Amino acid sequence: MKKNLYSIISLLLGVFFLAACTPEVDEKFSESASDRIKGEIAKTKQILESAENGWRMEYYGSTTYGGYNVFMQFKDDKVTVAGEKAGASHNAGIGADGKAVTASSHYKVEQSQGVLLSFDEYNEVFHYFSEPNNADYGEPADGMGGDLEFRVISATPEKIELSGKKHGARILMYPMPAGQTAEEYITEVIRIKNHMDSRSYKLEIEGSTRDISAVTSYRRLRFAYYDDDNEYTEVAAPFIITTEGYKFYKPVTVDGNEISAIKAGANDDYFETESTVNAKLWTYVPTKKELLETGMWFVNYADLGTFAQPCWNTMLDKLATTGPNNTRERMVWALIGIFQKKWGIHLQTTRDYAYYGLTLGEVSGSDGNEITLKCNTLSNNKAGKEFYNKLGLKDALLPFVGKTVSSKRTFVVTSDDERHPTYILLTDKDEPTNVIKLWAEQVLYPYGDLDDLDKE
């Protein structure tokens, strides 16, 4: 009996204790968490708006395209944005009046699994990077792969670190120095770009005899070399252009050497690196064969020439009914060169990615300015075989390799600029009307209006 009485009393005391204490503790903890996030939101907003000369944002969408400088002034829930001109359709950069093109819109700082910085009203300068159907970059629905909402990782008056909510790119922001304008910064970036820009480079690391090449595509360096096991190695280094030179998105390791930046320097023959050992990036003028061998060169139907265009019409006609429910399958891009470590012709349509291997040769005694092309039937993917056998790729390849898988064509290769070509010309030595222009920058929808679903 006494034992049971003690048990009842213990139980009642436990109930009273929980009833008295638990809600108070929970409420106190809840209020503390709520107050804490409100404080972080207020602090972040105060930091954004207290920078007297605004902020410079190092913006990245997909690292394929590298980074761009964006300038922001925050005040009373509004943000005024300027930035580098990233593409032909981007209304940004410096206008005809010599002033930076700007756009103002609403912004907010709110709670969403932490502190979130949101640019919630359309801004034509800033939202260019996150538009899903960008006229200058990317595939349908992707664009440049940028964000317009960012998780605040840390914020101080000296530096803000963000992470894109959807795509996760790391974004850094720095206060603009007093007296420096966006126009001045953009002008200096343009000067640095012109000073350092080269299609090809060679990386020289102190104490190493390794042959390391580097090729630029958009704002990304691609280092390539063979390691000690004779394995082909590629290292991608997306970068942003600052007033100091090329700053990498994050440090990369090339042949055991960590590199975080390339410094502009006084001359344009070579550039010092910020790295663990002394290393220099030398500008390099490759042979035309090397240009083809190390690059991605995009097809534009309008630049195929009178000989090649009819050959590509076959594929255009075949794709008219290969989409869902016999609808048109549209060509998104087509390139000749190296992609995913494979050399040949690469096609991306709205349905599939196709690859068919080609073999690139050099004519003896031509100093790399004359090349040969033929099919490499041992290197292709399933879609590549389908396109070759059923969807017109065999005809499309005729101006490049000839009529059969064993034939080849010989071309004289020229370009518009030795150091940083924007295009190359292939002129067939045996067929003068077969002149093909290939572009260094991505050409979206190479057939143009011919396969535009809205204009058929």
Q: Around Cβ 11, how many Cβ atoms within 10 Å?
A: 10
Cβ atoms of 223 and 234 within 8 Å: the answer is yes
Mark whether 271 and 306 lie in a shared domain. no
Mark whether 300 and 398 lie in a shared domain. yes
Which domain-ending residue is among 117, 147, 179? 179
Looking at residue 23, its pLDDT comes to 47
Mark whether 408 and 442 lie in a shared domain. yes
Please write the tens of the pLDDT for every residue from 30-72: 557 778 889 999 999 999 999 999 999 999 999 999 999 999 9
Residue 422 DSSP class: S
Please write the tens of the pLDDT for every residue from 5-35: 445 445 444 544 444 444 444 444 455 777 8
pLDDT, mean of residues 231-255:
96
Mark whether 278 and 379 lie in a shared domain. no
Mark whether 174 and 220 lie in a shared domain. no
For all residues of the chain together, what is the average pLDDT? 91
Please write the tens of the pLDDT for every residue from 314-334: 999 999 999 888 889 999 999
Mark whether 169 and 209 lie in a shared domain. no
Mark whether 413 and 302 lie in a shared domain. yes
Mark whether 323 and 421 lie in a shared domain. yes
CA distance 422 to 420: 7
Please write the tens of the pLDDT for every residue from 137-195: 877 778 899 999 999 999 999 999 999 999 999 999 999 999 999 999 999 999 999 99
pLDDT surpasses 80 at 214: yes
CA distance 85 to 100: 10
Q: Is the dihedral of CA 133, 234, 249, 89 positive or negative?
A: negative
pLDDT surpasses 70 at 426: yes
Looking at residue 22, its pLDDT comes to 46
Mark whether 280 and 423 lie in a shared domain. no
Looking at residue 454, its pLDDT comes to 62
Mark whether 294 and 443 lie in a shared domain. yes
Domain presence at residue 7: no
Beta bridge partners of 238: 220
Mark whether 202 and 260 lie in a shared domain. yes
pLDDT, mean of residues 76-87:
96
Mark whether 213 and 269 lie in a shared domain. yes
CA distance 449 to 445: 8
CA distance 49 to 55: 9
For the full predicted model, state whether its pTM sits above 0.85: no
Residue 209 belongs to domain spanning: 197-284
Of 310 and 1, more confident: 310
Q: Total structural domains in the chain?
A: 3
Any idea what the CATH number is for the domain that residue 276 is in? 2.40.128
Looking at residue 262, its pLDDT comes to 97
